[in-house]
Chain A
């Protein structure tokens, strides 16, 4: 493992300037992605997961702007590159897979053509070589009859197959970092698993890093090495997957895990939803964004955003909660 992370995000703050005011979608997010690891980002809808990644790729809609912070990819700040350099980077070093494979492919081009184009743009290879490469990619993502499926149109594929095509497209130039934005949400459960295993297998074979955005904790548990729990545009807790699943330290993470249905439970255990709804990011709370819904909320939580505390149990395990302040009352910690 190299000492320098592949991607280093520090203090990333992104806002959308709408007619109703400034919507603070991402508020000071810090995280690292090391080469060859899978980082999962979980959170509810609107917690800023996707916006974080779109900010890194600089593909925000026209009213969105990164206000502060930097995102260094292999030492170069992505937020300061020229549009031309950025375009060369996208698809080549950083690729992305979208949520809905049904709408992410151009219906008027054959799937082969869409990938061949990308390869030619970035690699400048001949059409024939690019075509050969696409066949290899299709075999890699396990599309049957790869050579003949090249000249098919997207509507001739099922959802799972289209997602494979999207993955093949993302892999076409051997990216070092793959951002997968809810790659399995639009698929049915059996296909979800196939796609996840495929991603994991390809990742271990090609050794790239993956940022996996999802709101499905099961998906994270299955494939991710590290996990980032986001809420209200902030990272609430981060650490190794096993650590966090075994001993979540942030009340939000605890709530998330408690609200996941379990198939085998000894006694008739009820699901415990987190009461309330996510904060309005037009007027975010002054203190901890989770405080209004938190069962352990204290006066300090409402008044001031908690700092990030390093947890003792595991290296890189950090949590953003006042409960872990040395002076905090210890009795409430084991309440969940």
Chain B
């Protein structure tokens, strides 16, 4: 069936009056490279989740220690090993206001709180009966026994009946609980984040500059220059990092600085290799020849034509390098080569938590979660960036 019924008014049949320029005008809407990258990164949910987590973490690490009343070194041995989640009990003892308390299941001690879970103080036992394995506490007229003759320990009233709980509350004083010296775990976590992110940031920065400079020169000049420079890289890559950090500490003493120096001086080899590989392929591109025929010098070709075109792989390498730097720092701190006490890093927090693992297994949760979530976040972001920066993966 043909559409002969379409009516066209008479003047439309006149010869079209076109500008000559219009014939060559390209009308498709176009995005710049970076707009396109942003759009694709935005659509990648894991990458955006990772980015959000990283931004929140950085914000918390910077601002957190400034707003909390606790410090990373302040000890309160009376309030050590407090859990973040408290199971409260209520007794009134014939008094006007009831007393709230909870039992620390690790050391069988009772601590007084208010009804919302804010810590007040440790309670003193009236009598400690070690033969019967029970402690007696008195609240006015009421008596409470802590019976640890069998585990887990139980709370009994004067008649020997188990107390019923008032409710489960979040620890309002120490959100993440306290460690074995009564220090606030949350603020130590945040200081740990500072350390880890600082190490990651410096390592990345050093990597960025040395790696690009070294790899760029090696790849661009090629030939014997490349041969010698890459053999040096191979030698550096074979040094065991642990041994290297220990040697550094002999010379530099402070654990933190020696870790940064060690990571900074060794980790750039990956970056150098990647930049070199990119340079080798890019330097034969026509636009490099074109720039040469237009009289561009070596420096300008490197900085204006070659490096901007390698920025994709460089960014991806950087984001994937950050988690490994964090991990190395945590590992070094864990085995005791990292920051010195009382300063905390995620690695030292983990190793402290491992010491009390039997009595308070939950203490391991926060540093382990911090390390793994951060590494996940950076890996997701790196993956997303790689997908977004590679035009061939465009949908």
Are A87 and B297 neighbours in the complex by a CB distance under 8 Å? Answer: yes
Contacts A98-B289, A156-B30 given; does A118 touch B295 at CB 8 Å: yes
In the complex, the answer to whether A109 meets B304 with C-beta atoms within 8 Å is: yes
Q: Which one of A103, A117, A161 lies within 8 Å of B300 (CB-CB)?
A: A117
Contacts of A62 in B (CB 8 A): 222-223
Check A57/B287 contact, CB under 8 A, given A107-B33, A108-B308, A156-B26. Answer: no
Say whether B25 faces chain A, with CB atoms less than 8 Å apart.
Answer: yes
User: Contacts A104-B290, A109-B304 given: A145-B295 contact, CB under 8 Å?
Assistant: no
Measured between beta carbons, the chain A residues less than 8 angstroms from B70 are none
Q: B309–A106 contact, CB under 8 A?
A: yes
In the complex with contacts A62-B222, A98-B286, A117-B300, A108-B309 CB distance below 8 A:
yes
> Which residues of A sit under 8 angstroms from B223, Cβ to Cβ?
62
Which residues from chain A contact B285 at a C-beta distance below 8 Å?
A: 103
How many chain B residues touch the partner (CB < 8 A)?
28
B286 touches which of A104, A142, A153, A156 (Cβ 8 Å)? A104
Q: How far is the CA of A57 from the CA of B24 in the complex (A)?
A: 34
Q: How far is the CB of B21 from chain A (nearest CB, A)?
A: 4
Please tell me if B294 contacts chain A, counting CB pairs below 8 Å.
yes
Q: Is the CB of B286 within 8 A of A100?
A: yes
- Are the C-beta atoms of B24 and A144 separated by less than 8 Å? yes
B293 in the interface (beta carbon within 8 A): yes
Complex contact A91–B304 (CB within 8 A): no
B291 within 8 Å of A (CB atoms): yes
Q: Does A122 contact B (CB under 8 A)?
A: yes
Tell me if A122 and B295 are in contact (CB < 8 A).
yes
Query: Min CB distance, B217 to chain A, in Å?
Result: 16
- Chain A residue numbers with a CB within 8 Å of B290 are 96, 98, 104-105, 166, 169
Instruction: Judge whether B293 and A153 touch: CB under 8 Å.
Output: no
With an 8 A cutoff between CB atoms, is B154 at the interface?
no
Interfacial residues of chain B within 239-259, with CB under 8 A of chain A in the complex? none
Does B68 count as interface, using CB distance less than 8 angstroms? no
- B26 in contact with A96 (CB, 8 Å): no
A259 at the interface (CB under 8 A from B): no
| A residues in contact with B26, CB < 8 Å | 156-158, 161
A62–B225 alpha-carbon span in the complex (Å): 13
Contact, CB under 8 Å: B308 / A109: yes
Task: Write the chain B residue with the least CB distance to A108.
Answer: B308
Q: Which residues of B contact A107 (CB under 8 A)?
A: 33, 287, 309
- Tell me the chain A residues, 185-204 only, with Cβ under 8 Å from chain B: none
CA distance A117 to B286 in the complex (A): 17
Is A92 located at the chain interface by the 8 A CB criterion?
yes
Query: Closest chain A residue to B305 by CB distance?
Result: A106
Interface presence of B370 (CB below 8 A): no
In angstroms, how far is the closest chain B Cβ from the Cβ of A252? 29
A121 touching B295, Cβ below 8 Å: yes
User: What is the 8 Å Cβ interface bit string for chain B, positions 22-33, against chain A (1 contact, 0 not)?
Assistant: 101110001011
Q: Pick the contact of B293: A59, A157, A160, A172 (CB < 8 A).
A: A59
Interchain CA distance A136-B22 in the complex, whole Å: 19
**Shortest Cβ distance from residue A134 to the other chain B in the assembled complex, whole angstroms:** 13
User: Of B286, B289, B296, B308, which is within 8 A of A121 by CB?
Assistant: B296
Q: Closest approach, in angstroms, between the C-beta of A34 and any C-beta of chain B?
A: 22
Bound: A170/B291 CA distance, A: 10
Tell me the count of chain A residues lying within 8 A, CB to CB, of chain B.
41
B295 proximity list for chain A (CB < 8 A)? 87-92, 118, 121-122
User: Contacts A104-B286, A108-B308 given: A90-B21 contact, CB under 8 Å?
Assistant: no
CA distance A59 to B294 in the complex (A): 11
Chain B residues contacting A153 (CB-CB under 8 Å) are 30, 32-33
Q: Is the CB of B286 within 8 A of A108?
A: no
Verify if A35 is at the interface (C-beta below 8 Å from B): no
Q: Check if B292 is an interface residue, CB within 8 A of chain A.
A: yes
Whether B293 lies near A96 (C-beta < 8 A) is yes
Chain B 277-315 per-residue mask, 1 if CB under 8 angstroms from chain A, else 0 = 000000001110111111111001000110011010000
Residues of A within 8 A of B297 (CB): 87
State A186–B291 Cα separation when bound (angstroms). 19
A117 CB contact (under 8 Å) in B24, B304, B308, B311: B304
Nearest-CB distance from A20 to chain B (Å)?
Answer: 18
Contacts of B25 in A (CB 8 A): 144-145
How far does the alpha carbon of A117 sit from the alpha carbon of B209 in the complex, in Å? 25
Contact yes or no, A106 B287, CB < 8 A: yes
Cα A107 to Cα B37 in complex, Å, equals 14
Closest CB in chain B relative to A54 CB, distance in Å: 9
Nearest-neighbor residue (CB-CB) of A59 within chain B: B292
CA distance A158 to B30 in the complex (A): 12
Cα A153 to Cα B222 with chains together (Å)? 30
A107 CB to nearest chain B CB (Å): 7
Q: Name the distance in Å between A64's Cβ and chain B's nearest Cβ.
A: 13
Which residues of A105-159 are within 8 A (CB) of B?
105-109, 114, 117-118, 121-122, 142, 144-145, 152-153, 155-158
Q: Are B293 and A95 in contact (CB under 8 A)?
A: yes
Interface members, chain B 160-215 (any A CB < 8 Å): none
Report the separation of the CA atoms of residues A142 and B24 in the bound assembly, to the nearest whole angstrom.
10
- Contacts A144-B22, A161-B26 supplied; 9 other A-B pairs, CB < 8 Å: A87-B296, A90-B295, A91-B296, A106-B304, A109-B308, A117-B296, A118-B295, A145-B25, A153-B32
A–B Cβ pairs within 8 angstroms, 21 of them: A87-B295, A87-B297, A89-B295, A90-B293, A95-B293, A96-B290, A98-B289, A103-B285, A103-B287, A104-B287, A104-B290, A107-B287, A117-B304, A121-B295, A145-B25, A153-B33, A156-B26, A156-B30, A158-B26, A161-B24, A166-B290
| A-B pairs with lowest CB-CB distance, top 8 | A91-B295, A91-B294, A144-B21, A108-B308, A96-B293, A103-B286, A90-B295, A104-B286
